[in-house]
């Protein structure tokens, strides 16, 4: 017996569904970076990096939505509504900059792993190139985050 899906409905092994899962995680990163920015004093080095991360996440989301549009689909078909949306990782709360940095780093590590896995699933070389660029920028953000004392 085969499973029936409606046209355009996401399936488990659908590269477009995987791409939109990356988009969903990018949106989570944007929200996390904005919230974390409120937990870190303005003028602190981490606050500036969180602002840069927010700008990057916003750009990535716009580019990924552009891919969906070019493929004739709506990203909303693949995502939970904003009211049903749960963050994909721990949300930073006021505390030490180290704790905030660790929470953001965990989410970026998870997104980077998902971007790497999704890149190989994409048949369109333009989509693979976009995902590689996002992965490279993610690495730069991870490198810019302060290392925790647990790293060394």
- Contact criterion met (CB below 8 Å) for 85 and 133: no
Residues 115-130 have pLDDT tens digits of 999 998 899 999 999 9
pLDDT at 45: 86
Convert 8-22 to b/e letters by CB count within 10 Å (16 or more is b): eebeeeeebbbbbbb
Q: Domain of 100? A: 15-80+91-144
Tokens of 29: 């990163």
Query: Residue 42 — very low, low, confident or very high, per pLDDT cuts 50/70/90?
Result: confident
CATH code for position 52 = 1.20.1260.10
Taking CA atoms, 78 is separated from 23, 37, 150, in Å, by: 10, 28, 37
- Please give the residue that has the higher pLDDT: either 83 or 143: 143
In a domain, 19, yes or no: yes
Query: Residue 9 — very low, low, confident or very high, per pLDDT cuts 50/70/90?
Result: very low
Tokens of 49: 């990096």
Tell me: pLDDT of 60 over 90.
Answer: yes
- Please give the residue that has the higher pLDDT: either 27 or 79: 27
Domain count, the chain: 1
- Please give the residue that has the higher pLDDT: either 151 or 139: 139
Q: What is the pTM of this model?
A: 0.79
In a domain, 29, yes or no: yes
In a domain, 86, yes or no: no
pLDDT at 93: 53
Q: Identify the burial level of 53 via C-beta atoms within 10 angstroms of its C-beta, where 0-12 means exposed, 13-18 middle and 19 or more buried.
A: buried
Alpha helices by DSSP H, listed for the chain, are: 15-39, 45-70, 97-119, 125-144
pLDDT at 125: 92
- Contact criterion met (CB below 8 Å) for 127 and 19: yes
- Contact criterion met (CB below 8 Å) for 103 and 32: yes
- Contact criterion met (CB below 8 Å) for 100 and 130: no
- Please give the residue that has the higher pLDDT: either 26 or 45: 26
Residues 91-149 have pLDDT tens digits of 555 567 788 888 899 999 999 999 999 998 899 999 999 999 999 999 999 999 876 53
CB-facing half-sphere around the CA of 144: CA atoms within 13 A: 16
In a domain, 3, yes or no: no
């Amino acid at each position: 017996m085969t499973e029936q899906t409606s046209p355009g409905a996401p399936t488990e092994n659908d590269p477009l569904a995987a791409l939109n899962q990356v988009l969903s995680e990018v949106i989570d990163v944007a929200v996390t970076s904005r919230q974390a920015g409120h937990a870190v004093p303005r003028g602190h080095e981490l606050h500036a990096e969180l602002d840069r991360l927010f700008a990057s996440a916003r750009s990535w989301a716009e580019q990924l939505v552009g891919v969906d549009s070019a493929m004739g689909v709506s990203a909303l078909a693949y995502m939970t509504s904003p009211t049903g949306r749960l963050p994909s990782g721990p949300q930073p709360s006021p505390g030490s900059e180290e704790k905030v940095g660790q929470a953001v780093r965990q989410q970026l590590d998870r997104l980077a792993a998902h971007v790497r896995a999704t890149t190989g699933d994409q048949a369109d070389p333009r989509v693979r190139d976009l995902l590689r660029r996002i992965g490279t920028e993610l690495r730069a953000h991870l490198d810019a985050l302060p290392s925790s004392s647990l790293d060394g």
